[in-house]
């Protein structure tokens, strides 16, 4: 460990392996639903805008799950709309 309290990434082979098990878009979707659950609708809207941008831009690599991701995005838009318009139920 260095004198500033951080381990040197070069000395530990585990540090060079990716430690993320979920895609960033999945984490943003989870945060969106948590914001909805807590009625933080402005935060949820901002997260949805970011997620929308991530999922609808031109992919750099082929994504076999693209349709599923888009369906999740549509469902998220629907959830936010229903929370903002409860009289429509």
Quick one: pLDDT at residue 9? Answer: 47
Count other C-beta atoms under 10 Å from residue 46's C-beta. 13
- Whether pTM exceeds 0.75: no
Q: 18: which 2 tokens?
A: 């990716």
Quick one: pLDDT at residue 10? Answer: 47
Residue 4 inside a domain? The answer is: no
Distance (Å, rounded) from C-alpha 2 to C-alpha 7?
Answer: 6
Average pLDDT over residues 19-40: 92
Domain count, the chain: 1
Residue 2 inside a domain? The answer is: no
Taking only the tens place, the pLDDT of each residue in 36-83 is: 999 999 999 999 999 999 888 876 666 677 788 889 999 999 999 999
Residue 38 inside a domain? The answer is: yes
Give me the domain span that covers residue 75. 9-88
């Amino acid at each position: 460990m260095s004198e500033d309290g951080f381990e040197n990434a070069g000395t530990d082979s585990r540090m060079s392996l990716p430690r993320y098990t979920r895609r960033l878009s999945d984490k943003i979707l989870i945060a969106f639903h948590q914001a909805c659950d807590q009625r933080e609708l402005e935060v949820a809207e901002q997260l949805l805008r970011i997620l929308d941008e991530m999922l609808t831009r031109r992919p750099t690599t082929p994504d076999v799950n693209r349709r599923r991701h888009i369906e999740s995005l549509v469902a998220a838009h629907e959830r936010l709309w229903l929370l903002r318009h409860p009289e429509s139920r």
